[in-house]
Amino acid sequence: MPIFVIVTILFLFAAPVYAQDAASCKADDRTCLLSQLEVLAGEIPEKNWQDQMYRELAKLLTLEKKSARAIPLIARIDNPDTKAMTIRGIGMAAHDAKMTPEEYGPLFTALRAEAEKIEHPPSYAIALTYIAMGQAFAGDDAGAMQTAKDMKNDALRNKAFGESAEIQAERNDLDAAMASIAAIDSPAFRNKAYGTISKIFADRKKYDEALKSAMAIDNEYLKAQAILNMLAKQITPEQVSLIEEK
């Protein structure tokens, strides 16, 4: 019997079995449903929609601590911007999944390898920005710093340092945030970043850190704005009442 006939017969017998397997997933069987979702994603004819489905599936898999299955999905995505967003999604999901430092290392190495395959320069730079942000979320400040330094585009490199600083400020790490901002080579962007983290610290009632960030600004107007914002955050409800009475 010709080989193509055999293959056709096997396919016809296998198709109903696969359909039965797909229908046999229970609502709480996430492993089964994720597997079927991956198969369904591959059957979506519209490439943009397929890319988006792979992106969302990659995030879900990472949340389930299945990043080894999530990473290969990046290569199936055609749109370079969606590839970059998938890299971002995996990095953020890894943070939400509370991965250990031992798990983070191989993950970011794998994400960087996928980023290096992106041939569209803007999307490639954005992917590196997202990797640096993910590393900052994970507390890998040295890794975030190196990833940002590797970026050739000045504006996006400075943006990566600024984004890392914001994440570090949100975890109340003044030293790490200041180190990230110090690496910014644009005075205007650097001043903006200092102002941003000063506001983050003030919002968190970390007034000493807010003041130190504000004092690092070398533009008098922006420095005054940052200090004014910090002082405004310290006004108590009682003081507001007194002001309103007057």
Cβ proximity of 55 and 89 under 8 Å: yes
* Residues 73 and 148 reside in one and the same domain: yes
How many CB atoms lie under 10 A from the CB of residue 139? 17
Mean pLDDT lowest among 33-47, 164-178, 195-209, 228-242:
228-242
| Strand, coil or helix: 43 | coil
Total of domains in the chain:
2
pTM above 0.85, yes or no: no
Range of the structural domain that residue 114 is part of: 45-173
* Residues 124 and 219 reside in one and the same domain: no
Nearest-angstrom CA–CA distance, 110 and 199: 34
pLDDT tens, 105-151? 899 999 999 999 999 998 998 899 989 988 888 888 999 999 999 99
Mean pLDDT lowest among 23-37, 52-66, 150-164, 199-213:
23-37
Q: Is residue 39 part of a domain?
A: no
* Residues 89 and 118 reside in one and the same domain: yes
Q: Is residue 151 part of a domain?
A: yes
Q: Is residue 35 part of a domain?
A: no
Residue that is written with structure tokens 């006004």 in the block: 235
| Strand, coil or helix: 118 | coil
Nearest-angstrom CA–CA distance, 74 and 71: 6
* Residues 126 and 197 reside in one and the same domain: no
Q: Is residue 206 part of a domain?
A: yes
pLDDT tens, 150-200? 998 899 899 999 999 999 999 999 999 999 999 999 999 999 999 999 999
Characterise 65 by phi-psi region: left (phi > 0), alpha (psi -120 to 50), beta (else). Answer: left
Q: Which of 122, 147, 173 is the last residue in one of the domains?
A: 173
* Residues 56 and 162 reside in one and the same domain: yes
Q: Is residue 12 part of a domain?
A: no
35-44 contacts, C-beta under 8 A, 24 or more apart: 38/69, 38/73, 42/76
* Residues 152 and 198 reside in one and the same domain: no
Q: Is residue 227 part of a domain?
A: yes
Q: Judge whether residue 244 has pLDDT over 70.
A: no
First to last CA, the chain: 98
Q: What distances in angstroms separate CA 150 from CA 101, 129, 138, 245, one per listed residue?
A: 22, 10, 19, 56
* Residues 169 and 50 reside in one and the same domain: yes
Q: Is residue 61 part of a domain?
A: yes
DSSP type of residue 171: T
Q: Which of 144, 173, 202 is the last residue in one of the domains?
A: 173
* Residues 56 and 132 reside in one and the same domain: yes
* Residues 51 and 163 reside in one and the same domain: yes
* Residues 196 and 160 reside in one and the same domain: no
Of residues 194 and 17, more confidently modeled: 194
* Residues 230 and 151 reside in one and the same domain: no
Q: Using alpha carbons only, what angle is made at residue 153 by residues 174 and 210, rounded to the nearest 5 degrees?
A: 15
* Residues 67 and 92 reside in one and the same domain: yes
How many CB atoms lie under 10 A from the CB of residue 56? 14
